[in-house]
């Protein structure tokens, strides 16, 4: 008898077809109503799950009696109750590394766009305001040779630092749970306390995981320490930043600008951020290229199939 796999969000069609050749497959369909109830019904006799973007914990998985693995098509796993999965003996696999460079590209795109006011001035020009040579009112801030502060020097943070150091001759500083000389030495990065980094950096890029210690890591007190010409970029998780505090800082010109790919509540709707010219907003597109999403789907598929066929998933969280 084939093992049963639940697909709980859209994955690339070719991988769905491959799974159907190997397993009994059930796909959750939001058009059919209560998704959590669909999941509870489907996982009762399921052995594996694959997908992304849905919260999975006790409420959704209480009926699972033989679930071996959840394979998420993402590197982040804050949507999953890891403690509960461990208690139930359910493995969680994710997809690191394959999205590192693409996400770093997104971070630097936001950094450059916010610093040089690309989105704002695109709209300004299209609206017919370009009647003469631009004045100081339209000026941005320089990027080259400035100080780049990375909060969270993991794989993605290091890729961003590399772009700044080698591409823009930037001085790199970083903060995290611990010093990482084996990574930092490649671009002469200095480890600083968070407050020191905020005070010194011209550009602050947030790349930490979301957990209880990083939730609202940056709030009113932290924004008050940043330089008025500073640019903030967040590509980690929205809740790492106190969004209301950031809106206040942008409204009051405490910092120059922000580039945001993630938000406390997604999709972002009816937000004061939409009214601000000094913020660049993208709809959580950090890894959103065809090549990278293909690689993420491949790795998530490989993780799932390996674990369900007697091997071991390559990248396990727990």
Question: Which are the catalytic amino acids?
Answer: 237, 266, 284
CA dist 237 and 152 (Å) reads 12
Instruction: Give the HSE-up count for residue 36: Cα atoms under 13 Å, Cβ half-sphere.
Output: 7
Q: Can you tell me which residue has the tokens 């091997």?
A: 311
The CA distance from 83 to 62, in Å, is 14
CA atoms within 13 A on the CB side of 300: 33
Name residue, tokens 């990574």.
Answer: 183
- The CA distance from 90 to 58, in Å, is 12
- Separation of alpha carbons 254 and 93, rounded Å: 40
Distance CA 48, CA 69 (A): 5
Question: Quick count: other Cβ atoms within 10 Å of Cβ 240?
Answer: 23
Q: What is the CB neighbour count within 10 angstroms for residue 245?
A: 18
Alpha-carbon span 148 to 223, nearest angstrom: 16
Task: Residue 184: name the closest of 161, 168, 202, 200 by CA.
Answer: 161
The tokens describing 291, both together, are 């090549």
210-213, long-range: CB < 8 A, 24+ apart: 210/76, 210/78, 210/236, 210/237, 210/239, 210/240, 211/78
Phi-psi region of 237 (alpha: psi -120 to 50; beta: other; left: phi over 0): beta
């Amino acid at each position: 008898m084939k093992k049963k796999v639940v697909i709980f969000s859209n994955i690339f069609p070719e991988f769905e077809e491959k799974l159907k050749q190997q397993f009994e497959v059930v796909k959750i369909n939001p058009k059919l109503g209560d998704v959590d109830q669909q999941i509870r019904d489907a996982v009762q006799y399921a052995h594996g799950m694959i997908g992304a973007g849905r919260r999975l914990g006790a409420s959704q998985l209480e009926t699972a009696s033989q679930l071996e693995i959840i394979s998420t098509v993402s590197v982040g796993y804050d949507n999953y109750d890891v403690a509960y999965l461990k208690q139930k003996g359910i493995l969680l696999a994710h997809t690191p590394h394959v999205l590192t460079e693409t996400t770093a590209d997104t971070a630097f795109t936001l950094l450059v766009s916010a610093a040089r006011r690309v989105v704002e001035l695109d709209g300004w020009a299209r609206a017919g305001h370009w009647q003469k040579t631009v004045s100081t009112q339209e000026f941005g801030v320089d990027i080259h040779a400035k100080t780049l502060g990375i909060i969270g020097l993991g794989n993605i943070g290091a890729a961003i630092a590399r772009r700044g150091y080698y591409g823009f001759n930037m001085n790199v500083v970083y903060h995290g749970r611990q010093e990482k000389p084996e990574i930092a030495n490649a671009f002469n990065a200095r480890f600083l306390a968070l407050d020191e980094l905020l005070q010194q950096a011209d550009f602050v890029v947030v790349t930490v995981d979301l957990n209880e210690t990083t939730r609202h890591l940056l709030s009113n007190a932290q924004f008050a320490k940043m330089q008025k010409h500073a640019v903030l970029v967040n590509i980690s998780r929205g809740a790492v930043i106190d969004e209301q505090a950031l809106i206040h800082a942008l409204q009051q010109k405490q910092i120059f600008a922000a580039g945001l790919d993630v938000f406390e509540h997604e999709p972002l709707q009816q937000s004061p951020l939409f009214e601000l010219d000094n913020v660049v907003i993208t709809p959580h597109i950090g890894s959103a290229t065809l090549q990278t999403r293909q690689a993420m789907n491949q790795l998530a598929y490989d993780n799932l199939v390996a674990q369900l066929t007697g091997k071991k998933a390559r990248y396990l969280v727990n």
